[in-house]
């Protein structure tokens, strides 16, 4: 089964055809810089251009999935922390569908990464409660119970140190605060993980985002009650997870 997945980020919009039997890209990954300002009209046009480039390489009909850096409820965008404020209240599903001439499924970007990891990566076959965190410019989160997604958790915005946790514990915060890897892990990430464990009692924690390519720099300093492992799909996770959503959401009433 082939589906198109698109990952809409603050700096780039990436897409590819995904083989959902393998969890792998079936085409090259195509990327176009995110338009500035990143209004719904401009982003929809850019996503359409990415999809056109992708389908010129590998034909793929059917709905597309799009991972968005925001809370998404029934296709409507409810937050806009890292995208243009005009997205607030926008019916992203309708706008993308009109621009693409096909059905579109929207979901939170961390939820998309989590879907990819649970189907094809570090969380495949795991039961119980799984927490995926993406540590990058901010902190994204996805929570799964026996493989089922609890959408839009946004746990990076929990208040710690008198601030949003992602302002103090993200990968960007490590650079902004000029912390080495051990200091960051021990004084920022570990307290954040302990707080999450007190709330959710996960069986497994998966760490994704760009830094998951460098687990040896900080994983030795992490201390959790739950098993903790790096993500596997890395830069393709959002695309693969969006493609999973494109296939599963139309027939799943829980979306």
Distance between CA atoms of residues 251 and 245, nearest Å: 10
* CATH code, domain with 11: 3.30.420.40
**What span, in angstroms and rounded, lies between the C-alpha atoms of 92 and 21?**
28
Show the domain range for 102: 2-111+247-251
Locate 188 and state its tokens. Answer: 């920022």
Looking at the structure, tell me whether residues 59 and 87 fall in a common domain.
yes
Percent of the chain with pLDDT strictly greater than 70: 98
141, 176: one domain: yes
194 and 218 share one domain:
yes
Same domain, 143 and 82: no
174 in the same domain as 148? yes
Condensed to tens digits (0 to 9), the pLDDT of residues 47-80 reads 999 999 999 999 999 999 999 999 999 999 999 9
Answer whether residue 242 is part of any domain.
Answer: no
pLDDT (0 to 100) of residue 251: 66
Q: Are 158 and 227 found together in one domain?
A: yes
CA angle 145, 149, 155 (to 5 degrees): 90
**Average pLDDT of the segment spanning 207-212:** 90
Do 94 and 9 belong together in one domain? yes
Q: How many CA atoms lie within 13 A of 193 on its CB side?
A: 28
In a domain, 142, yes or no: yes
Q: Summarize pLDDT for 140-196 with one digit per residue, the tens.
A: 999 999 999 999 999 999 999 999 999 999 999 999 999 999 999 999 999 999 999
pLDDT, position 241:
98
User: For the segment 88-132, what is each residue's pLDDT rounded down to a tens digit?
Assistant: 999 999 999 999 999 999 999 999 999 999 999 999 999 999 999
* Number of domains comprising the chain: 2
**Token match 């019916």: residue?**
91
Give the per-residue pLDDT at 255.
57
- Is residue 131 located within the same domain as residue 99? no
**Inside any domain, residue 240:** no
Model confidence band, residue 252 (pLDDT cutoffs 50, 70, 90): low
Q: Is residue 185 part of a domain?
A: yes
* Predicted model pTM: 0.95
State whether 9 and 77 are in the same domain.
Answer: yes
- Domain identity same for 16 and 100: yes
Tell whether 59 is covered by a domain: yes
> The tokens of 250 are what?
């139309």
């Amino acid at each position: 089964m082939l589906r198109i997945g698109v990952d809409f980020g603050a700096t780039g919009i990436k897409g590819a055809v995904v083989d959902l039997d393998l969890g792998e890209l079936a085409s090259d990954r195509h990327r176009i810089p995110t338009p500035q300002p990143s209004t719904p009209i401009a982003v929809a046009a850019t996503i359409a251009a990415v999809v056109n480039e992708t389908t010129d390489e590998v034909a793929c009909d059917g709905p597309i999935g799009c991972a968005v850096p925001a809370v998404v409820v029934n296709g409507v965008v409810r937050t806009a922390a890292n995208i243009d404020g005009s997205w607030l209240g926008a019916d992203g599903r309708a706008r993308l569908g009109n621009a693409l001439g096909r059905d579109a499924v929207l979901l939170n970007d961390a939820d998309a990464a989590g879907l990819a990891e649970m189907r094809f990566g570090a969380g495949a076959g795991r039961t119980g409660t799984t927490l995926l965190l993406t540590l990058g410019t901010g902190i994204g989160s996805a929570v799964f119970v026996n493989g089922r997604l609890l959408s839009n958790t946004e746990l990076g915005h929990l208040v710690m140190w008198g601030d949003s946790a992602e302002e103090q514990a993200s990968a960007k915060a490590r650079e902004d605060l000029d912390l080495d890897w051990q200091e960051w892990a021990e004084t920022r990430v570990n307290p954040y993980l302990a707080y999450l464990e007190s709330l959710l009692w996960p069986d497994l924690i998966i760490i994704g985002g760009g830094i998951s390519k460098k687990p040896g720099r900080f994983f030795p300093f992490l201390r959790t009650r739950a098993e903790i492992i790096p993500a596997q799909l890395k830069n393709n996770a959002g695309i693969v997870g969006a493609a999973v959503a494109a296939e599963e959401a139309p027939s799943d009433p829980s979306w």
